[in-house]
């Protein structure tokens, strides 16, 4: 790895948030991606950790040089109930449970680096979850190492290790069902031979890599890691093996990552506790003072509206034996991110960020927000609410869009509508001339949702939408003249010529704003795979 001075690491990370993960670790986009897919060869990863691996920690790990970041394990049954929501205020994508809790929050910045880890014992459900998150993450992983009863009694986690047929069914379903790489994380079996035979079977399913935690399922985090098992596995398969389990007795600093890689003969290394205690362990020059790391973590937690409970949990892990210090006590007593910030002297920063978020939220709610289009996959989105009172009776944006598409001789607009369970809200996507448009806001009825989608399309294309005050536009004139032919059509055509679909799409892409902030309201409810030693 190239050595980059510490200050430079941080400067670059802040200056170019969209590519920093690759830059700070000295690796390039080119060698982390292979054929447009995330490669697990020769990487250093933040391990999946319940409560710890939420967005602020993942982004900080990327800043400090991790190549790949795993999210905390999320259970398939909960994930399948989630709705994917674009959060305009934070510029994140949230997966929201029916009770409104954000189960998984991610953002553009980590899209090519984040691995979504799920707990599952069911191939169909696993596939449904993988498809739900597929376009927002770089890979999906199945946890096959959790020894906790809550996991094993449902046939998940380490229970899978004794059911290789189930492992094969889940992985095969995922590998054939999604376009992103699939990986899994296992613990070692009682003998080297059994472990090798299982990993060879896993390899045959077509997974991109396998992470091996070098402990038996009965072993606790305090037990030494069995590097010889990982080494034997690494020799026996050709997919990348990611060595894990070295935080306690091997990896103390960044240089130890390489020792662990060598000791295990693995292609890659994954760190859990060493990163939880001080995530700057990924900095090649050596770790930063944990006080600095806590501050940086807290800034991300505020920017991404991380749940205060989760913020506190992570800071307490970093404080370690100082958790009973005056600072530790202040953190423990705090109930909000603002109160936690006060303990770190970051209250002004916190107030400023929260005010910005509030302003943006208010603008979105009032409908007076910036109507800058943002790409959500292949859909152009704008936050638009359909207000009936803004249009004359019998005139709607949908009519205008239909009229325009006839005139342009493109296919009639096609509306697809979904309803979310938490508030029965509707959201429509309209397809016009092969391009898709949607409002990010949810409407009370299907009719309104379709009108909002039509408004987005018309506004993005720069076509009149029939609002009061636009009476000169074609359709209103046509209606007024009661059946007379296309009055005002030329004017509309003139306007529509100004912006063609292709141009608009391009403009939209280039104006899409970079990630502003992110966070997790989730109160982590799944216990960690292992208690802290
Ligand atoms: C707080 C905490 C939470 C964890 N949560 C998960 C998890 O969600 N999924 C998982 O596969 N492993 C989980 N683990 C296990 C770690 O990923 C890792 O396998 C283990 O800690 C050994 O690695 P280490 O020596 O680097 O800590 C967790 C570990 C800790 C300490």
Shared domain for 86 and 194, answered yes or no, is yes
Tell whether 303 is covered by a domain. Answer: no
Shared domain for 266 and 378, answered yes or no, is no
Which residue bears the tokens 């205008």?
400
Measured CA to CA, the distance from residue 146 to residue 125 in angstroms comes to: 19
User: Measured from the CB, is residue 49 less than 6 Å from ligand 1?
Assistant: yes
User: Measured from the CB, is residue 147 less than 6 Å from ligand 1?
Assistant: no
Shared domain for 268 and 375, answered yes or no, is no
Closest ligand 1 atom to Cα of 73: 8
Rounded to the nearest angstrom, the distance between the alpha carbon of 442 and the centre of ligand 1 is: 38
Measured CA to CA, the distance from residue 2 to residue 330 in angstroms comes to: 40
274 neighbors 320 (Cβ within 8 angstroms): no
Tell whether 338 is covered by a domain. Answer: no
Q: Are strands 268-271 and 241-244 parallel, antiparallel or unpaired?
A: parallel
Measured CA to CA, the distance from residue 468 to residue 327 in angstroms comes to: 59
**Torsion region of 49: left, alpha or beta (phi above 0 gives left; psi -120 to 50 gives alpha):** beta
Rounded to the nearest angstrom, the distance between the alpha carbon of 207 and the centre of ligand 1 is: 21
Rounded to the nearest angstrom, the distance between the alpha carbon of 485 and the centre of ligand 1 is: 70
Measured CA to CA, the distance from residue 161 to residue 163 in angstroms comes to: 6
Measured CA to CA, the distance from residue 141 to residue 122 in angstroms comes to: 14
CA 362 to chain centre: 24
Tell whether 296 is covered by a domain. Answer: no
Choice among 146, 227, 350, 457 that is catalytic: 146
Tell whether 113 is covered by a domain. Answer: yes
Measured CA to CA, the distance from residue 23 to residue 200 in angstroms comes to: 34
Shared domain for 265 and 383, answered yes or no, is no
Shared domain for 104 and 251, answered yes or no, is yes
Measured CA to CA, the distance from residue 350 to residue 303 in angstroms comes to: 8
- What CA–CA distances, in Å, run from 513 to 114, 373, 517? 20, 9, 11
Contacts of range 502-505, beta carbons closer than 8 Å, 24 or more positions apart: 504/380, 504/435, 504/460, 504/461, 504/462, 505/380, 505/435
What pLDDT shows up at residue 394? Answer: 84
What pLDDT shows up at residue 24? Answer: 40
Shared domain for 386 and 239, answered yes or no, is no
What pLDDT shows up at residue 21? Answer: 36
Closest ligand 1 atom to Cα of 271: 26
- Residue by residue, pLDDT tens for the chain (533 residues) are 334 444 444 444 433 333 333 334 445 555 687 778 999 999 999 999 999 999 999 999 999 999 999 999 999 999 999 999 999 999 999 999 998 899 999 999 999 999 999 999 999 999 999 999 999 999 999 999 999 998 898 999 999 999 999 999 999 999 999 999 999 999 999 999 999 999 999 999 999 999 999 999 999 999 999 999 999 999 999 999 999 999 988 888 889 999 999 999 999 999 999 999 999 999 999 899 999 999 999 999 999 999 999 999 999 999 999 999 999 999 999 999 999 999 999 999 999 999 999 898 888 877 654 567 888 989 999 988 888 878 888 889 999 999 999 999 999 999 999 988 767 889 999 999 999 999 998 888 999 999 999 999 998 988 888 887 665 555 544 544 444 433 333 344 434 433 334 333 333 333 322 222 222 333 232 333 333 22
Shared domain for 134 and 259, answered yes or no, is yes
Shared domain for 188 and 53, answered yes or no, is yes
Q: Are strands 68-70 and 114-119 parallel, antiparallel or unpaired?
A: parallel
User: Measured from the CB, is residue 213 less than 6 Å from ligand 1?
Assistant: yes
Q: Is 193 exposed, middle or buried (0-12, 13-18, 19+ CB in 10 A)?
A: exposed
Structural domains counted in the chain: 2
User: Measured from the CB, is residue 245 less than 6 Å from ligand 1?
Assistant: yes
The residue out of 253, 282, 311 marking a domain boundary is 282
Rounded to the nearest angstrom, the distance between the alpha carbon of 109 and the centre of ligand 1 is: 24
Cβ-Cβ contacts under 8 Å for 313 (sequence gap 6 or more) = 51, 52, 524
Measured CA to CA, the distance from residue 412 to residue 406 in angstroms comes to: 7
User: Measured from the CB, is residue 396 less than 6 Å from ligand 1?
Assistant: no
Helix 308-319 and helix 290-303, axial crossing angle in degrees, nearest 10: 170
513 neighbors 17 (Cβ within 8 angstroms): no
Measured CA to CA, the distance from residue 85 to residue 344 in angstroms comes to: 32
The residue out of 282, 310, 335 marking a domain boundary is 282
Which residue bears the tokens 């948030």?
17
Active site residue 82: no
Tell whether 59 is covered by a domain. Answer: yes
Tell whether 65 is covered by a domain. Answer: yes
50 neighbors 528 (Cβ within 8 angstroms): yes
What pLDDT shows up at residue 27? Answer: 56
173 neighbors 124 (Cβ within 8 angstroms): yes
User: Measured from the CB, is residue 143 less than 6 Å from ligand 1?
Assistant: yes
Closest ligand 1 atom to Cα of 141: 11
Report residue 262 as tokens.
């060598």
CATH number at residue 67: 3.20.20.70
Which residue bears the tokens 């990863």?
45
Closest ligand 1 atom to Cα of 528: 3
- What CA–CA distances, in Å, run from 391 to 122, 397, 467, 469, 471? 50, 8, 5, 9, 10
Tell whether 448 is covered by a domain. Answer: yes
What pLDDT shows up at residue 367? Answer: 63
User: Measured from the CB, is residue 145 less than 6 Å from ligand 1?
Assistant: yes
355 neighbors 346 (Cβ within 8 angstroms): no
Tell whether 22 is covered by a domain. Answer: no
Q: Which domain range does residue 215 map to?
A: 44-282
CA 235 to chain centre: 33
CATH number at residue 492: 3.30.160.20
SS3 415: strand
Shared domain for 387 and 266, answered yes or no, is no
Partners of 36 in the β-ladder: none
DSSP notation for 165-222: HHHHHHHHHHHHH-SS-EEEEEEE-SSHHHHHHHHHHHHHTT-SEEEEEEEETT--TT
The residue out of 282, 315, 346 marking a domain boundary is 282
Closest ligand 1 atom to Cα of 52: 1
What is the C-alpha end-to-end distance of the chain, expressed in Å?
30
Q: Whose CA is nearest to atom 21 of ligand 1?
A: 272
CB atoms within 10 A of CB 358: 11
- What CA–CA distances, in Å, run from 485 to 48, 470, 478, 490, 531? 64, 18, 7, 12, 75
Report residue 330 as tokens.
């202040």
Partners of 491 in the β-ladder: none
Rounded to the nearest angstrom, the distance between the alpha carbon of 46 and the centre of ligand 1 is: 10
User: Measured from the CB, is residue 275 less than 6 Å from ligand 1?
Assistant: no
């Amino acid at each position: 790895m190239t050595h980059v001075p510490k200050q430079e690491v941080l400067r670059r990370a802040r200056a170019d948030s969209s590519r920093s993960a690759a830059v700070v670790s000295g690796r390039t986009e080119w060698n982390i991606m292979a054929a447009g897919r995330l490669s697990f060869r020769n990487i250093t990863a933040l391990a999946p950790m319940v409560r710890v691996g939420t967005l602020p920690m993942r982004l900080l790990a990327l800043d400090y040089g991790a190549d790949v970041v795993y999210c905390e394990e999320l259970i398939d049954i909960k994930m399948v109930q989630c709705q994917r929501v674009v959060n305009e205020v934070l510029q994140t994508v949230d997966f929201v449970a029916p009770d409104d809790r954000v189960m998984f929050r991610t953002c553009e910045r980590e899209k090519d680096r984040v691995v979504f880890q799920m707990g599952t014992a069911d191939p169909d459900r696993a596939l449904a979850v993988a498809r739900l998150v597929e376009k927002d993450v770089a890979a999906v992983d199945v946890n096959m190492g959790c020894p906790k009863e809550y996991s094993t009694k449902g046939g998940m986690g380490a229970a899978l290790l004794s059911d290789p047929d189930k492992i094969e069914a889940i992985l095969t379903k995922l590998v054939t069902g999604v376009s992103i790489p699939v990986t899994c994380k296992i613990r070692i079996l009682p003998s080297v031979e059994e472990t090798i035979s299982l990993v060879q079977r896993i390899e045959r399913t077509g997974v991109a890599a396998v992470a091996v935690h070098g402990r038996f399922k009965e072993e606790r985090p305090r037990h030494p890691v069995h590097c010889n098992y990982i080494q034997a596995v690494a020799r026996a398969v050709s997919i990348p093996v990611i060595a894990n389990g070295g935080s306690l007795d091997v990896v103390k600093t960044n240089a130890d990552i390489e020792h662990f890689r060598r000791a295990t003969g693995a292609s890659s290394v994954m760190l859990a506790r060493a990163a939880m205690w001080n995530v700057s362990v990924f900095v090649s020059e050596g770790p930063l003072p944990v006080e600095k790391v806590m501050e940086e973590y807290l800034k991300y937690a505020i920017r991404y509206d991380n749940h205060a409970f989760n913020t506190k949990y992570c800071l307490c892990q970093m404080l370690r034996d100082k958790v009973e210090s005056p600072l530790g006590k202040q953190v423990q007593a705090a109930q909000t991110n603002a109160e936690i910030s006060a303990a770190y002297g970051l209250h002004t920063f916190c107030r400023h960020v929260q005010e910005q978020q509030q302003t943006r939220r208010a603008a979105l709610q009032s409908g007076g927000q910036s109507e800058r289009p943002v790409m959500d996959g292949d859909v152009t989105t704008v936050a638009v609410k359909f207000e009936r009172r803004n249009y004359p009776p019998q005139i709607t944006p949908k009519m205008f869009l239909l009229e325009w598409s006839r005139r342009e001789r493109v296919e009639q607009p096609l509306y697809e509508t979904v309803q979310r369970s938490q508030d029965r809200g509707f959201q429509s996507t309209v397809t016009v001339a092969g391009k898709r448009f949607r409002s990010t806001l949810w409407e009370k009825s299907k009719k309104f949702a379709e009108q909002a989608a039509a408004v987005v399309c018309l506004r993005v294309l720069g076509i009149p939408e029939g609002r009061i005050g636009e009476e000169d536009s074609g359709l209103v004139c046509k209606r007024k003249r009661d059946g007379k032919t296309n009055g005002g059509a030329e004017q509309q055509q003139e306007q529509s010529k100004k912006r063609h679909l292709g141009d608009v799409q391009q403009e939209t892409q280039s104006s899409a704003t970079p990630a502003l902030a992110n966070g997790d309201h989730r109160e982590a409810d799944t216990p960690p795979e292992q208690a802290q030693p």
